Amino acid sequence: MKVIVITGSTRGIGYGMAEEFLKRDCAVIINGRSQQSVDNAVEKLSTSYSADCILGFACDVSNYEQLQAMWDAAIERFSKVDYWINNAGIDLDNDIFPDLSVEDYTRCVNINLLGMMHGSHIAVNGMIKQGHGQLFNMEGFGSGGRQRNGFTPYGSTKYALRYFTQSLQKEVADKPVLVCTLSPGMVVTEMLMGGYKTDEEIQRAQKIFNILADKVETVTPYLVDKMLANTKDGAAIAWLTTPKIIWRFMTASFNKRNLFED
């Protein structure tokens, strides 16, 4: 039985991956910032999957000691961690950088970048000690260098995440740990639509998302299957590849999709 830690897994892609791992007879550590959100996710998952395979742990990923405690709890319960997925992340409300508060962009950096570094440090050291393991860091808008107004702090953290992950992979290439990335593409979650304010902005965004985006239940089985099958250090598991983007635009006129129907 594989044991998986997923930060930020009480909702969205993280929750979707947790459910897919449970479907494949894995054990999963569910993580979120609040105890209530963790308890709700664990309760919901436990209605369909064995509670013996689910451990909930609430913590702030920007707090190293709390993250270390989650690793320790996973080891105490399951004796190992096979996969650690740094998925926790937040975006802001599409405001340009000068209009953001110091508290907002600091929080974004602390969770998306510092939290990912903390998780990577804990996981890599723990996996070296146990003799095996895979670390996956979740990419997002900005990882490839794309820029857009309103995404400066978020995109900066994801651009740095790719550099960090590639550099870390080289540093520990001789260790028994695989360091990799996940790229889910555009997935319909609260985060995807959270920054659009006016009806015009929402309609314009939905038009593009109906071409390029997918629902959580479409993307997460692919990501999970690829992770479980992975044996390559430095693997970059991506759902929305360039050929898929081209095909989506080429077929958009006759392949109508509405991902936002109730």
Structural domain harbouring 103: 3-200+215-241
Mean pLDDT value of segment 241-256 = 87
Mean pLDDT value of segment 22-46 = 98
Which residues lie across from 31 on neighbouring strands? 57
Q: Let me know if residue 210 belongs to a domain.
A: no
192 versus 182: the higher-pLDDT residue is 182
- What CATH number corresponds to the domain at position 167? 3.40.50.720
Provide, rounded to the nearest whole percent, the portion of the chain with pLDDT above 90.
75
- Rounded to two decimals, the pTM is 0.93
Q: Amino acid letter at 29?
A: I
Q: Let me know if residue 207 belongs to a domain.
A: no
Q: Let me know if residue 257 belongs to a domain.
A: no
Instruction: Provide CB contacts within 8 A for 97, sequence distance 6+.
Output: 105, 152, 153
List phi, psi (to 5°) of 31: -130, 140
pLDDT tier for residue 196 given thresholds of 50, 70 and 90: low
Mean pLDDT value of segment 195-213 = 76
- Length of the chain in residues, anyone? 262
Per-residue confidence (pLDDT) for residue 179, from 0 to 100? 98
Per-residue confidence (pLDDT) for residue 209, from 0 to 100? 83
Instruction: Provide CB contacts within 8 A for 138, sequence distance 6+.
Output: 13, 85, 86, 87, 89, 161, 181, 182, 183, 184
pLDDT beyond 90 at 94 = no
pLDDT tier for residue 195 given thresholds of 50, 70 and 90: low
Q: Which of 49, 154, 159, 196 is catalytic?
A: 154
Closest CA to 18 of 69, 53, 47: 53
Is 49 an active-site residue?
A: no
Q: Let me know if residue 182 belongs to a domain.
A: yes
pLDDT tens readout for residues 219-246: 999 999 999 999 999 999 999 999 998 9
How big is the CA angle at 221 (ends 238 and 33), to the nearest 5 degrees? Answer: 85
Q: Do residues 162 and 143 touch, judged by C-beta distance below 8 A? A: yes
Q: Let me know if residue 147 belongs to a domain.
A: yes
Provide, rounded to the nearest whole percent, the portion of the chain with pLDDT above 70.
95
Q: Let me know if residue 254 belongs to a domain.
A: no
Q: Let me know if residue 160 belongs to a domain.
A: yes
pLDDT tens readout for residues 109-122: 999 999 999 999 99
- Residue 21, CA distances (Å) to 28, 90, 104, 146 in order: 7, 23, 33, 31
Per-residue confidence (pLDDT) for residue 114, from 0 to 100? 98
pLDDT beyond 70 at 149 = yes
Beta strands 27-32 and 83-86, pairing class: unpaired
44 versus 240: the higher-pLDDT residue is 44
Cα(118)–Cα(115) distance, integer angstroms: 5
